Amino acid sequence: MVVIMFWTVLWLAGSLPFMLAESPQMSIIDSIFESISCLTTTGATVIVDLDALPQSVLYYRQQLQWLGGMGIIVLAVAVLSMLGIGGMQLYWAETPGPMKDTKLTPRITETAKALWYICLGLTVTCALGYWAAGMSFFDAICHAFSTAAIGGFSTHDASMGYWAK
């Protein structure tokens, strides 16, 4: 029940910037769908004409997807553990298969922190690689977020084909 409520609150909170943005004009349902797609790294979108969107919206959806891919649950587990609420139940509920009985470190907070550092390092490395390959700094960061999250969002309608000129 905690996991369901946690995800529901995240999806609703994540949809607010989409609803409030002047461009694109999105309905409540479309905003919630986009938020769910971002946080679950599904890669489905209801937004059309990405090339005409403001960078703030493009960045937000990429960052939301990155947070979803990074495991917002891992962040919550670390925060709940630090608050003494006991995030292990949430960790076990969200971890699939036999891996739930193994941890990288003895303390769940340290495990979450280690995973964040690894993912952050991979994201920075990816962004630098994209930038060195010719993307603008903005596009490199946004695509690094998407790559690290393995979600597939892009800042352009043609996705990576945009740079195949």
Per residue in 48-63, pLDDT (tens digit) is: 999 999 999 999 999 9
| Rounded distance between C-alpha atoms, residue 128 and residue 134, angstroms | 10
pLDDT digits (tens, 9 = 90+) for 55-89: 999 999 999 999 888 876 566 666 666 655 555 55
pLDDT exceeds cutoff 60 at 1: yes
Q: In b/e form, how buried is each residue of 132-153, taking b as 16+ CB within 10 angstroms? A: eeebeeebbbbbbbbbbbebeb
Q: For residue 126, count other CB atoms closer than 10 A to its CB.
A: 18
Mean pLDDT is highest, among 4-13, 24-33, 114-123, for: 24-33
Q: Which one is predicted more confidently, 30 or 80?
A: 30
Contact between residue 152 and residue 65 where contact means Cβ atoms under 8 Å apart: no
Element (H, E) at 117: helix 108-132
Query: Residue 94 — pLDDT band, cuts 50, 70, 90?
Result: low
